C-alpha cells in the first residue's frame, strides 16, 4: 500500500498488504485505511502520526473477497465473498478462464471493532 500526499504527489509511507488487492478505503475519524486482498485477508493500517503508518492487522477473510465497502458512520467494512468451482484450464496460449460461483455460497463478511 502506498500513502501519498495528494497535493504534492509525494509518497508519505508504504505498508505491506496481502496479494491481489482490489478495494481500499480510509476512515478519517479512526485514522485507519483498509485494503481487501484476493488472498483472503483484510489489511488494516493505522495512521499513528503524520507520515507514520502501522499495519494493525491482516484479518482472515475468504479467498477472493477483494472488494470492499466502508460505512463511515458505523466504521464497519463489508466484503462480498463466495465459493467457486475450480478454474477452467487454459487452452494453449490463452488466459485461464474465470471460475464460476457455486450456487448458494454468496455471503457478505462484516468486520468492525
The full DSSP string for 28-84 is TTTTEEEEEETTTEEEEEEEEETTEEEEEEEEE--TT----EEETTTTEEEEEE--B
What is the model's pLDDT at position 76? 96
pLDDT at 94: 84
The segments of the chain whose pLDDT lies below 70 read none
pLDDT of residue 113: 80
Structure confidence at residue 67 (pLDDT): 93
- The rounded Cα 59 to chain-centroid distance in angstroms is 10
Q: What is the pLDDT of residue 10?
A: 92
pLDDT at 103: 95
Amino acid at each position: 500500500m502506498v500513502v501519498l500526499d495528494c497535493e504534492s504527489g509525494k509518497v508519505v509511507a508504504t505498508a505491506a498488504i496481502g496479494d491481489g488487492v482490489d478495494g481500499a478505503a480510509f476512515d478519517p475519524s479512526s485514522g485507519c485505511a483498509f485494503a481487501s486482498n484476493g488472498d483472503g485477508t483484510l489489511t488494516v493500517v493505522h495512521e499513528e502520526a503524520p507520515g507514520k503508518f502501522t499495519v494493525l492487522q491482516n484479518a482472515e477473510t475468504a479467498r477472493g473477497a477483494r472488494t470492499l465497502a466502508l460505512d463511515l458512520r458505523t466504521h464497519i467494512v463489508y466484503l462480498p465473498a463466495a465459493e467457486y468451482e475450480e478454474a477452467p484450464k487454459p487452452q494453449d496460449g490463452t488466459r485461464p478462464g474465470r471460475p464460476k460461483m457455486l450456487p448458494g455460497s454468496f455471503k457478505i463478511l462484516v468486520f468492525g471493532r
